[in-house]
Amino acid sequence: MRSSLRIIWLLQKEEPLAFWGGLILAFIPAIAGIALMAVSGYFITATALAGLSAGAIVYSTSAASNSIRLYAFMRIFGRYVERVITHDATFRFLANLRSGVFRGLVAREGNGTSSQRSATALSRVVSDVDQLDGLFLRLVVPLSSATIITGLTLVILWDYSPMASIALGAVQAAGLTVLARSGGHRQKAQARKLNTARDALRVRVSDLVRGRRDLSVFGGLEQQRLSALKAVNQLDEVQEQNELTEMRNQAVISTMSQVMVAVTFLFAAYSYQQGQMELQHIALFAFVALALPELLISLANSAGSWSKMSGAADRVRSLLTSGQDSEALQSARSGSEAPVFEAGKDALSLKDIRFAYTPKAAAILEGVDLALPTGSRTVIIGPSGAGKSTLAAIVARLQTPQNGSVQIGGVELNCLAEDKLRAALTVVGQRTQIFHSTIAENLRIAREDASDADLWEALSHAGLKELVESRQEKLETRLGEGGLGLSGGEGRRLALARAYLRDPEIWVADELTEGLDHATADTVLASFRAMTRGKTVLMVSHRASELECADRVLVLEDGKLTEVTLPLSDEIKDRLRDD
């Protein structure tokens, strides 16, 4: 509940006018609906009594008919305006909320605390954020309307018959209680089962689609298909239980509405017998008793989603909390100065860096010091798992050390604005993300305003110009998912072209030629060296060829950095790959 209230408070804080304006406007169609039923009942009864009295009672239908038309118009127009305002505010809020959620997801991934598969985590996050549109539209708005309008109606009817008013209030309160219980622990557990079943289906279908070739080759296709079908059946069972719960809620509310009419009619009739009200007011009470449960029906239709929204709010709030530090930091960085790279001064400086993936885990970096003068080329080598890639990630602010200081151009990394950091430093490595888009759009990720001439220049420096020119659509050539249409080396060089467009002062290369054959690796290295001439370079490597032209070589082992003399000894060379 706290998480749900927190999300609602954030919406109210970001969209106060639309939030409160939407609530107020939501009262108009609800009040108009009840007034329409009440006036209609009164009109029908008064007209009938006037007819039965053979002229003894004179009743003007003009005022009543005008009121009915007015309330009908208010109901239709008020509902339309309320939907426009509340939905617009909700969608704008969700758009902003996604930024915070994805920031938290990135922070959690960066800290190594996420155990979900990326596809599952992304699908869950998208589903959770979409689910939260119901907090305002299907919870706050109808619940506020039901509570306030019921209270106002009972106060007005109290003057006619206190007993009938109490009966209406008691039955309405009972309905709210039933709906509140529908979001209890049992329903939350059911919602968790639903999420688990959906995740299982996504994972198994994803494995079936992505691994269909190997499954076919090794005879596991049928087994995986049956596993996916089993997940479908489990999801169907959980969804059926949820639908039964929702139908049960609606049946209870419908039954209570009938009970409300009967009880109200009895008390109103008793009040008439005691001379406390006129005969036509009995119909007024009966029709109001018919209209009030409509407020609960809108709640009943979404009551089955309350537990889902509550669970989604818990997970979203957790992600928002994970991303709060980086968000607050980003706000603090907005006025930071750009780093200055002067010859002879350190472009990059690390002091007493300590890093461990979890508080209980052993530190993989302990007391690391490193200084890279402007224009220098430094290569870090070491055994697999020593923490070389982690060190590169810390420099790029993709990981946060538990202790120590990182400075870029004399500015603390934690005080450097995001845009200024990314303009000063870029990372290229073995994991190259090529998007399902055109070559031009893949390049303009680095610089949105880059002209076609800029793109061709970057491709030329990366050694890809001739390849792209040979394609029929050239820069508009569409690449498949994961860079389908390019070889591994071509994808690596496209990443270099993207980095070149940023023209950073500091280049961090993490296993740049890993997984490439000797000839392709030499081509990629040649492009990299040409691009980084005169720049500050930090390379993480296992290959002897990547150490050429290095000013310094450092060995990372047992959490410490040790500089080795050049030329390299045979002992150090034996640790490297000849290819």
Structure tokens at 235: 């999801």
CA distance 395 to 504: 14
Q: Which amino acid is at 418?
A: E
CB atoms within 10 A of CB 478: 14
Nearest Cα neighbor of 547 from 566, 527, 532 is 566
Q: Indicate the SS3 state at residue 258.
A: helix
The stretches of 397-514 forming alpha helices (DSSP H) are 418-424, 439-443, 452-461, 465-470, 488-502
Which is it for strands 377-381 and 506-510: parallel, antiparallel or unpaired? unpaired
Structure tokens at 37: 């039923």
First-to-last CA distance in the chain? Answer: 59
Output the CATH code of domain 2-315. Answer: 1.20.1560.10
Fold of 346-573: Rossmann fold (3.40.50)
The residues pairing with 99 across neighbouring beta strands, listed in sequence order, are none
Q: Taking the CA atoms of the chain, what radius of gyration do you get in angstroms?
A: 34
Instruction: Specify the residue for token string 């005008």.
Output: 66
The stretches of 425-487 forming alpha helices (DSSP H) are 439-443, 452-461, 465-470
Domains of the chain by residue range = 2-315, 346-573
At CB < 8 A and 24+ separation, what contacts does 268-272 make? Answer: 268/160, 268/161, 268/164, 270/163, 271/160, 271/161, 271/163, 271/164
Q: Which amino acid is at 558?
A: D
- Residue 417 has what DSSP assignment? -
CA distance 417 to 397: 11
Q: Indicate the SS3 state at residue 563.
A: strand
Tell whether omega for the bond before 567 is within 30 degrees of 0, i.e. cis.
yes
CA distance 200 to 274: 65
Chain centroid to CA 29: 33
Q: Indicate the SS3 state at residue 487.
A: coil
The backbone region for 515, taken as left when phi is positive above 0, alpha when psi lies in -120 to 50, beta otherwise, is left
Cβ neighbourhood burial of 58 (10 Å; 0-12, 13-18, 19+): exposed
- For residue 267, what are the contacts with CB-CB under 8 A and spacing of at least 6? 161, 163, 164, 167, 285
Instruction: Express each pLDDT in 439-474 by its tens digit.
Output: 888 888 888 888 888 888 888 888 788 888 888 888
Contact (CB, 8 A) for 297 and 252: no
Q: Which amino acid is at 281?
A: H
CA distance 286 to 112: 62
Burial code of 291-311, b = ≥16 C-beta within 10 A, e = fewer?
bbbebbbbbbebbbbbbbbbb
Each residue's pLDDT expressed in tens, for the chain with a length of 579 residues: 677 777 777 777 777 887 888 888 888 888 888 778 777 777 777 777 666 665 555 556 677 778 888 888 888 888 888 888 888 888 878 777 777 777 776 666 555 555 555 556 666 777 777 777 777 777 777 778 778 878 887 887 787 778 778 877 887 787 777 766 765 556 667 777 777 787 788 778 877 887 777 778 777 888 888 888 888 888 888 888 877 877 777 777 778 777 777 877 787 787 777 777 777 677 777 777 777 777 776 666 666 566 667 767 777 777 777 656 554 455 445 556 677 777 778 888 888 888 887 777 778 888 888 888 888 888 888 877 778 888 888 888 878 888 888 888 888 887 777 778 888 888 887 777 788 888 888 888 888 888 888 888 888 888 788 888 888 888 888 887 766 777 777 887 888 888 888 888 888 888 777 766 777 777 878 888 888 888 888 888 877 777 777 788 888 888 887 877 777 666 666 666 655
Q: Which amino acid is at 227?
A: S
Structure tokens at 468: 């792209």
CB atoms within 10 A of CB 349: 19
Nearest Cα neighbor of 378 from 291, 508, 503, 286 is 508
CA distance 304 to 187: 8
